[in-house]
Structure formats: C-alpha cells, structure tokens
Chain A
Amino acid sequence: MAMELWKGNEAIAEAAVRAGCRFFFGYPITPQNEIPEYMSMRLPQVGGCFLQSESELAAINMVYGAAGAGARVMTSSSSPGISLKQEGITYMVGAQLPAVIINVSRGGPGLGSIQPAQSDYFQSTRGGGNGDYRTVVLAPNTIQEAVDHTQMAFDIADKYRNPVFVLADGMIGQMMEPIEWKEYKPAYTAEKEWATTGHKGKRPHNIVNSLFIDAAGCHQHNLELDKKYKAMEENEKRWQEVGTEDAEVLFVAYGTPSRIALSAAEILKAEGIKAGLFRPITLWPYPMMELREAIMRPSVKAVVCIEMSMGQMVEDVRYAALDKKPVSFCGKAGGVIPTQYEIAAAARAALGR
C-alpha cells in the first residue's frame, strides 16, 4: 500500500475513526488542537458525534457517559488539560469504563509551555487521580506508531474495561511523516452487556458506578480491579531494543528522545563506542524485568536515561539497575529537546571518556 504524508495529530484522529470511534468530546489546548478540529469535520461524515465541551472536566465526564452507554469514545488534551481530566479518569477506572485518552504532552508545571515535553510520566504511569488504579500507557515514537497505538488502545480498553492512554509528546503530534494505512481488524469484539442502553424489559437494570460505600465491598472491588492490572502486566508489556546485545552504553528513552538517542549512537559508533537503545513502548505496564536483563548484560558499563523532563522515568531505570550499574540522566525540560550531541556527550561522561 502507498505511503501517505500525515501530521501526527490528524493521523491519530483518523486512526481512531478507522478503529470505529464514533464519539469525541474535547476542549481546545495547544499542541493537540488538530485532533478535535479533525474530528469536528470527520465524525459527522461517518454518523458520529463531535462535541466541544465547556471544559476538560465536562469533556471527560461526557466520555464517561458515552463509554457507559456502550460507545467507542475518545478524548484528547495536553498536559494541563489532562490534569483537569484526572477526576473523570479515576471514576472511569472505578466504574470499569473503556475509553482512549490522547495526551499530546507539553512543558510544565502549571501552564508551562506549549512545546513538546515528557514531564507527565509520573502522572500517566502512577495514576494522576485518586485511588489505587492503573491505566495502560502507550508511548509512540513515530507517526505510524501513533496510528497503530491509537487503534490498539481501543482494543486494550475494551478488553479490560479500563481507560487507555496514548502519551504522544508534542513532537509526535505536530510532526509530519509518511505512514501506511493498514486494514484495522478489531482484536476484541465482545458485547458490552454491562452498558446502560435501556434494559428494554429484558434484563435487570445496569448500573455504571464507582461508589462502594461499604469498606469490605470497596476492598473487594479493588481486588477485582487488581486482577485486571495483573492481567495487563502479563499481556500488555511492550518494548523495543536496538543494538543492546553488545552495547557498552545503554540508552533508555521513549517517544521523541528515543529517536535522537539513535542519532547519538551513530556519532558514538564513529568513535568506536557501542551504544544500544532500550525503548519502553508501554510506560505502564513497564518492561522492568526486560530492562533489567538488558542492563545486566556484561558488555553494559553505563546506562543513560534520556527524557524531555527533569528526570521521571529515570527512577524506574535506577530501580531496574539495582545499584549494580551506574545510571546517569540526560534531560531537558519545558519544551527544550536534548540534541544528539548532548546525548553523545552524556554517554562519554558516563563511560569516563
């Protein structure tokens, strides 16, 4: 099939439509505006509904209602907007509702900047809202992957009845790249028997709810949710390794910096230094044991974690390294992107050269 040139945000929106998403509720925020703009044009063409809400809070609660009513539904936002959506996200996990949430992340904290950043790692992987909960977080590093992840996210959401994040940094949202539209086949097609569709006098009433007022009942509910998180950890972990077999320095990065790290590896290769890349594709569940295995290979002398933040994933990388290998951090925050030269310099420093 022919390759087509697409902008990340628009490709994500089109991917959702091709995956059967017919409802979108969102609120404008840079750098993700092309997603709601595209949806406002595209969804009416396929009999769907786009609605611009009065706030991110309203948007995520519209998503809650539509998901509870049995629809394939998506919302998108960027960092400060995702903060506002945390209320609805924890309620959706509690009520076991599937939905896809796109975070085209930007610099923080607060209003921060509008340039690409990865400072929402903690918020995405630890659950930004209240309560014990987990969401699968997919982190694409190409537009093609953003398309594939968006479509996969709907299936994962339906399979576990849980919201799924696609954490695409602002670079993925704003960049254009050639992509191939593959035929989408749903990986999970079970009927949503739990949805509030009107009982038609044929079944007891369905209730979509996250309230379990009795403590023992709420504990039991958490045990049931925990079973799902364990199944997600078992089934949904994804990662990529490039040149890790005999690497002296191991880069760990996701999203945009993972591509820059490969350019740094080329620079180092010319100097006779072997650098490899371990790229978590799911930030939760995190490929912790797989990363540990890569770090513990005898060839690896140093680990460099690269992020567009002040250092968030690096905590997981240090945990994977168990203090057995030195872990250093190379990062820029607020929308500044580390260059291949800075990453190569960080690698040399880590190796003591």
Chain B
Amino acid sequence: MAIVYQKSKGLTDKEMHYCPGCTHGIVHKLVAEVLEELNLLDDAIGVCPVGCSVFAYDYFSCDMQEASHGRAPAVATGIKRVHPNSPVFTYQGDGDLAAIGMAEIIHAANRGEKITTIFINNAIYGMTGGQMAPTTLIGQKATTAPLGRDKDLCGGPVHMCEMMSAIDGAVYVERVSVNNIPNLNKAKKAIKKAFELQMQNAGFAFIEVVSTCPTNWGKTPVESMKWLEENMLPVFPLGVYKDVEEVASK
C-alpha cells in the first residue's frame, strides 16, 4: 500500500508534553517538514527557549541547543558565526522573545543574522502557569493580571512583526496562524520561505505564529481557536509585514 502520510523525519519519536489543543505540536510539525523538504536536517542546528517549548530539543531530530531565557538569538548568533553555511533557527515563545529577550531579538535582526526565528505568540506565559505576557491583550485576565491587563498600568500588547519590519537587517517578516487549514498551509509556506532566504544568505527572517493556550486561557481547544479568531487576530493581523524580495521587484 502506498504511504500517503507519515511523520516528518525532522521529529523524533519522543512523546510530546504539550497540552491538548496547544498549537506548539502543529508548528513543530511544520518546521520539521520544511527542514526535511529542503533537505536541511543533516546540517540544521536549532535553539530552543525557556518556556513551554523548552523541551523542543527532544522533539526536533536535528542538533539542538537549549538557551537561557530570551537569549536564543544570541546563542544562534554564536552558532551561525561558527557554521555560516548551516541552517540555524530559534524557536521562542512570547515571554522569551518579546519580554526578557527583546534586546537579543532586535539586535540579531539588526545585524541581519542569517538565522530564522519562529515566534509563538499565545498571549500568555504557559510554562509558569498563566502570567501576563508582553502580548497579553488589553482586558485579558492572567494570574498576574487578575482583573485583566490594564493599559494604564502596564501598556498594551507588543506587536513584534510591526517592530521587526522596521529593522533593516530583517528581510522577511510574516504573521501567520494555524487556526484552519488554509492558514496552516500559509504558515508552512512562510516557514519554508524563511529557511530558503536563510540558505540564500539574504538576512534575518521572522515568522510569528498566533497560537493558543487552552490550559492557561481556561478554555477547551475548540473554544480557544474561536477566542483566537475573535480576540487575537483583530489585534495581531495576519499577513506579510516585510518581504525585501517583493520590495526589490517593485
């Protein structure tokens, strides 16, 4: 019988620890499939963050480094300078990248590091149990914002793609989601393009994935997808925020 679908060789057989309905598993799968399809698994070196995807080093089958909180882009910089021809990527959540690691991501992008960053934005700290993230929406409740995020007290959600697209060294910036099949396909295409641009030495590429956290949102997986569509997508609009190739061809 013909094989019509199988797990990517980019993933190990390790059982994932992610909660039911969490989109980390889907995004892992997309990254793994892209690495396999582009024939990059032999050379790829990934860097995982501190947060829910801290164990990603056990799930991706390529060589992996585990960084301290927020420093994945600096660690990836060190790796890429040693292995300039190898695909290097970071996989980071919103607390890791947009709070404690803001300096590292901005400067890696500004240097035009030839790396790819996958940014998971689920508007909450997952691993530590539902605290307010830099991307938490105004009014969204969190364990450290029991009455909901108050803009006067702590500002509004950080818009990473909008910020990254203003940086010269970033050549490709797209915000995607995996909330339905068309968007999942777009997300995979975006991740693929980011790695292709890296292998062409074009510069830094940034893919934000608007994601869910049913456990800490206190919702079922289905309710979470609906909440994401109704509340997150209006604040974090999907789309290509920067494509240097497109700019050049105009």
Instruction: Bits for A59-71, please: 1 = Cβ < 8 Å to B, else 0.
Output: 1011111111111
Given the complex of chains A and B, what is the CA–CA distance between A244 and B105 in angstroms? 55
Given the complex of chains A and B, what is the CA–CA distance between A59 and B60 in angstroms? 26
A123 an interface residue at 8 Å Cβ cutoff? Answer: no
Min CB gap B229→A, angstroms: 34
Question: Nearest 8 CB-CB pairs, A to B?
Answer: A65-B78, A61-B74, A66-B78, A65-B75, A196-B63, A198-B43, A62-B78, A61-B71
Instruction: Bits for B174-193, please: 1 = Cβ < 8 Å to A, else 0.
Output: 00000000000000000000
B66 an interface residue at 8 Å Cβ cutoff? Answer: yes
* Known A57-B71, A64-B67, A209-B66; 16 more pairs at CB < 8 Å: A49-B82, A58-B74, A61-B71, A61-B78, A64-B75, A65-B74, A65-B77, A65-B78, A197-B86, A199-B63, A201-B42, A205-B12, A207-B58, A207-B65, A211-B66, A213-B55
Min CB gap A92→B, angstroms: 10
Give the residues from 41 to 88 in chain B that come closer than 8 angstroms, CB to CB, to chain A.
Answer: 41-45, 47, 54-55, 57-58, 60-68, 71, 74-83, 86
| Contact for B81 among A49, A197, A205, CB less than 8 A | A49
Are A197 and B78 interface neighbours, CB within 8 A?
A: no
B103 an interface residue at 8 Å Cβ cutoff? Answer: yes
The contact sample of 21 A-B pairs, CB cut-off 8 A, is A23-B82, A49-B82, A51-B81, A58-B107, A61-B67, A61-B75, A61-B78, A62-B81, A64-B71, A66-B81, A66-B82, A88-B68, A198-B42, A198-B86, A201-B42, A205-B62, A206-B64, A207-B57, A207-B66, A210-B66, A211-B55
A323 an interface residue at 8 Å Cβ cutoff? Answer: no
- Which residues of A sit under 8 angstroms from B55, Cβ to Cβ? 211, 213
Contacts A71-B82, A196-B64, A199-B42 given; does A209 touch B75 at CB 8 Å? no
Min CB gap A199→B, angstroms: 6
Instruction: Give the one of B47, B58, B65, B76 with max A CB within 10 A.
Output: B65
Given the complex of chains A and B, what is the CA–CA distance between A213 and B127 in angstroms? 13
- Which residues of A sit under 8 angstroms from B47, Cβ to Cβ? 65
Instruction: Bits for B85-111, please: 1 = Cβ < 8 Å to A, else 0.
Output: 010000000000000000110010000
A263 an interface residue at 8 Å Cβ cutoff? Answer: no
Given the complex of chains A and B, what is the CA–CA distance between A244 and B107 in angstroms? 54
Min CB gap A346→B, angstroms: 44
Min CB gap B49→A, angstroms: 11
Are A58 and B71 interface neighbours, CB within 8 A?
A: yes
Q: Which residues of B contact A (CB under 8 A)?
A: 12, 41-45, 47, 54-55, 57-58, 60-68, 71, 74-83, 86, 103-104, 107
Q: Is the interface of A mostly helix, strand, loop or mixed?
A: mixed
- Which residues of B sit under 8 angstroms from A53, Cβ to Cβ? 74, 107
| Contact for A95 among B45, B66, B78, CB less than 8 A | B66
- Which residues of B sit under 8 angstroms from A88, Cβ to Cβ? 68, 71
Given the complex of chains A and B, what is the CA–CA distance between A95 and B77 in angstroms? 18
- Which residues of B sit under 8 angstroms from A208, Cβ to Cβ? 64-66
Given the complex of chains A and B, what is the CA–CA distance between A64 and B78 in angstroms? 7
Given the complex of chains A and B, what is the CA–CA distance between A353 and B64 in angstroms? 65
Chain A residue, CB-CB nearest to B72: A61
Instruction: Bits for A11-50, please: 1 = Cβ < 8 Å to B, else 0.
Output: 0000000000001010000000000000000000000010
Min CB gap A202→B, angstroms: 8
Are A197 and B83 interface neighbours, CB within 8 A?
A: yes
Instruction: Bits for A136-174, please: 1 = Cβ < 8 Å to B, else 0.
Output: 000000000000000000000000000000000000000
Given the complex of chains A and B, what is the CA–CA distance between A119 and B230 in angstroms? 57
Contacts A87-B68, A207-B65 given; does A200 touch B43 at CB 8 Å? yes
